[in-house]
Amino acid sequence: MGPIQVALLLAFLLILFLAFLLWRRAMVGRAGTGLPKGQIVYSDMGQWEETSPLYAPRYALAGKPDYLLRIDRQTIPVEVKPSRRAPEPYAADTLQLAAYCLLVEETTGVRPAYGLLRYRDQTFQIPFDERLRQTLLATLHDMRRDLHQRDVARSHTEPVRCRLCGQRAHCEQRLD
């Protein structure tokens, strides 16, 4: 084998090795998210190309889910909270996921049966049923109404949320 053939063989082996490393990185990355099986059709996690937000003009709503998966001919939104541990989903996270379900419904014309909320140790499958949909619409309505209020009452009882809040220094409703 001449020097050119040796160089070509080495280049080929190097490309093969790099392809293996990329494949392995993708597999480990996916395993780290705890995502179920399903084709990833959208990701806002910076591993693929830049993504545009989903937009629903009818509800003046826009957002970027962490992933959209194609499962059983449905488009399923996924929200990942890698550092969160809780026995059940937080209400705010459920509403955020519901908003992504509504965006999928509006942009694809098909309402997803559920969304997936991934915490550090487990994944919750949250049905996007009529009850959750109506709760979301009512919450969006209240948020828009409150945008024009001078004073808005605290809507939670979570001291940790106040401890991390940037408005804490001058908020009269903070929890200690």
123: which strand partners? 118
By CB under 6 A, is residue 161 in contact with ligand SF4? yes
Which position has the token pair 């996007």? 128
Spatial separation of the C-alpha atoms in residues 5 and 1, rounded to whole Å: 6
Q: Which residue has the tokens 């009452």?
A: 153
Is 101 strand, coil or helix? helix
Q: Is 53 helix (H, G, I), strand (E, B) or coil?
A: coil
Segment near ligand SF4 (CB under 6 A); pick from 23-31, 60-68, 123-131, 154-162: 154-162
For position 90 contacting ligand SF4 by CB under 6 A, the verdict is no
CA separation for the pair 94, 136 (Å, rounded): 9
Under the binding rule (CB under 6 A), the answer on residue 64 touching ligand SF4 is: no
Q: Quick one: which of 2, 87, 167, 176 contacts ligand SF4 (CB under 6 A)?
A: 167
- Among positions 13, 18, 62, 171, the unique one binding ligand SF4 when judged by CB under 6 A: 171
40, 61, 71, 162: residue in contact with ligand SF4 (rule CB under 6 A) = 162
Identity of the residue, 71 or 95, whose beta carbon is nearer to ligand SF4 in the bound complex = 95
CB of 172 to ligand SF4, least distance (A): 8
Residue 162 · residue 171 · CB < 8 Å: yes
Q: Considering the rule CB under 6 A, would residue 173 count as an interface residue with ligand SF4?
A: yes
> Using CA atoms, how far apart are residues 133 and 22, in angstroms rounded to an integer?
40
Residue range at the interface with ligand SF4 (CB under 6 A); choices 25-33, 74-82, 129-137, 165-173: 165-173
Instruction: Kindly indicate which of the ranges 3-11, 26-34, 71-79, 160-168 contains the residues binding ligand SF4, using the contact rule CB under 6 A.
Output: 160-168
Token digits of residue 148: 């024009």
User: Which residues are at the interface with ligand SF4 (CB under 6 A)?
Assistant: 154, 161-162, 165, 167-168, 171, 173-174
